[in-house]
């Protein structure tokens, strides 16, 4: 029987990843490297892979630009683009300080999705410049993952880049978060016997994550009037003149004032949580952002998703003590990790495999349904509502659902069956994992230093 940890032991456990990160990152000097994927039998092969032989491939692509996806690795390249203006819960820490996060994301892209992703941290905070940079990068990449860009410019960057580029552009803090939250909510509601259409949902934070999450939830069946959104100044409602004054800059937030909160609630987060079935928090790192009495005021069998990183808005054990039936966070060291890492590797695997030209909210819903179904089929309970990152078989399945939706919506160039998609994704992901494991086995990737 697993020993129940004390609060002090739980707190110490929560601090350990940050402590080890400070030792491990310098030890490895980063988390990525570029490795050949072609056979090199001797120096004579360089005449094929480089000059003079490579000129033949160049000419083929010039005659038919689409051949770039077969003669080069562009078909599997993704740029992770950030200006470092809102990194995790750390705020505007700049492009250099954002690099460890972007490298970490690239690591997950490769190991979980078999995607070759590259950190691109930009020395600009101008949204038009970010879009221009993405346009300049387009010939090299099969997709763009926008990351850790402050609101509201992140909305404008996503919308404008999607309009101007012919490859899929995705903002993981928006669409990735929404996908995994929806997957978790589908199964959590099943466990407590409540429906998506009737659930009352309080959303704390109206940044990039919860903005897109609200839009996706509404498209997935949540009634707009059943959502109550809360920013730093309180509940959103039609009389929020401060938000109305900025509606040109952030029309999404003003629309929430007009469309959500049919009960006309006013006040703060405490008021928003009263009687709510679900709390979805993407506010700021805690603990103590969500108070235990607020959770106690929620409906019976309440659900709390405290998604702030690196520390959730409320510790899971505190939410449970306050009466929550199901609690999820963004951390891997607690039960029910609601984290983008379950989404973006497989999602990009899917769009790359069919050369999709864009990413839509319906694709997010398709991926969320695959995640929820996978977990339900192998069994769910209050502390296990979504797949875990170590369940490798979920990623090919999720990527297939995403790709099939792309084909259905008519935005995919390559048409493959579900079985073909599954086999292709499985092969690519297996190759990435086994390559890493082989390098570790051979000592070319040394073991990390002993725990400190």
Distance CA 180, CA 213 (A): 9
- 3-class SS at 329? strand
Q: Which of 105, 110, 320, 424 is catalytic?
A: 105
50 is catalytic: yes
15 is catalytic: no
Burial class (CB in 10 A: 0-12, 13-18, 19+), 376: middle
DSSP structural state of residue 255? H
Cα–Cα nearest to 395, from 108, 189, 173, 144: 108
Q: Which of 13, 15, 37, 50 is catalytic?
A: 50
DSSP H or E run through 143: strand 143-146
Contact 268, 230 (CB under 8 A): yes
Asked if omega into 425 is within 30° of 0 (cis), the reply is no
Distance CA 205, CA 442 (A): 47
> Is beta strand 227-231 parallel, antiparallel or unpaired with respect to 201-204?
parallel
Contact 113, 345 (CB under 8 A): yes
Distance CA 407, CA 409 (A): 5
* Dihedral sign from CA coordinates of 348, 207, 95, 126: positive
- 3-class SS at 245? coil
Distance CA 323, CA 296 (A): 6
Distance from the Cα of residue 376 to its chain's centroid: 21
Half-sphere exposure for 224 (CA within 13 Å, toward CB): 11
* Dihedral sign from CA coordinates of 146, 150, 153, 154: positive
Cα→Cα distances 225→58, 73, 274, Å = 56, 46, 15
Contact 316, 335 (CB under 8 A): yes
**Residues annotated as part of the active site:** 50, 105
């Amino acid at each position: 029987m697993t020993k129940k940890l004390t609060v002090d032991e739980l707190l110490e456990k929560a601090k350990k990843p940050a402590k080890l990160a400070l030792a491990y990152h310098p030890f490895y000097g980063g988390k990525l490297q570029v490795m050949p994927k072609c056979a090199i039998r001797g120096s004579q092969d360089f005449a094929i892979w480089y000059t003079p032989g490579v000129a033949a491939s160049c000419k083929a692509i010039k005659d038919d630009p689409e051949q770039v996806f077969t003669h080069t690795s562009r078909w599997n390249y993704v740029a992770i683009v950030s200006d470092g203006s809102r990194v995790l819960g750390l705020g505007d820490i700049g492009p250099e300080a954002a690099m460890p996060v972007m490298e970490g994301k690239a690591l997950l892209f490769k190991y979980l999705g078999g995607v070759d992703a590259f950190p691109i941290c930009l020395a600009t905070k101008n949204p038009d410049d970010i879009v221009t940079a993405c346009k300049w990068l387009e010939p090299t990449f099969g997709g763009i993952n926008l990351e850790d860009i402050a609101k509201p410019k992140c909305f404008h960057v996503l919308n404008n880049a999607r309009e101007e580029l012919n490859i899929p552009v995705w903002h993981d803090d928006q669409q990735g978060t929404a996908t995994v939250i929806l997957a978790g909510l589908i199964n959590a509601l099943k466990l407590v016997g409540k429906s998506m259409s009737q659930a009352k949902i309080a959303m704390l934070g109206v940044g990039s994550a919860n903005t897109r999450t609200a839009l996706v939830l509404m498209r997935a069946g949540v009634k707009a009037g059943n959502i109550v959104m809360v920013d730093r100044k309180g509940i959103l409602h039609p009389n929020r003149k401060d938000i109305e004054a900025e509606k040109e800059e952030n029309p999404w937030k003003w629309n929430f004032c007009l469309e959500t909160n049919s009960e006309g609630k006013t006040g703060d987060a405490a008021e928003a949580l009263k009687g709510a079935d679900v709390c979805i928090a993407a506010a700021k790192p805690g603990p103590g952002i969500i108070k235990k009495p607020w959770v106690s005021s929620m409906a019976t069998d309440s659900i709390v998703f405290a998604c702030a990183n690196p520390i959730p808005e409320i510790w899971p054990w505190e939410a449970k003590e306050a009466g929550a039936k199901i609690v999820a966070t963004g951390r891997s060291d607690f039960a029910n990790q609601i984290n983008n890492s379950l989404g973006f590797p497989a999602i990009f695997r899917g769009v790359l495999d069919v050369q999709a030209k864009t990413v839509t909210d319906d694709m997010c819903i398709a991926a969320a349904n695959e995640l929820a179904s996978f977990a339900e089929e192998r069994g769910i309970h209050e502390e296990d509502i979504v797949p875990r990152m170590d369940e490798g078989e979920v990623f090919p399945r999720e990527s297939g659902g995403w790709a099939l939706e792309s084909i259905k919506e008519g935005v995919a160039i390559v048409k493959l069956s579900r079985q073909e998609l599954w086999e292709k994704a499985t092969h690519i992901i297996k190759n990435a994992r086994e390559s890493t494991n082989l390098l570790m086995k051979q000592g070319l990737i040394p073991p990390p230093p002993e725990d400190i």
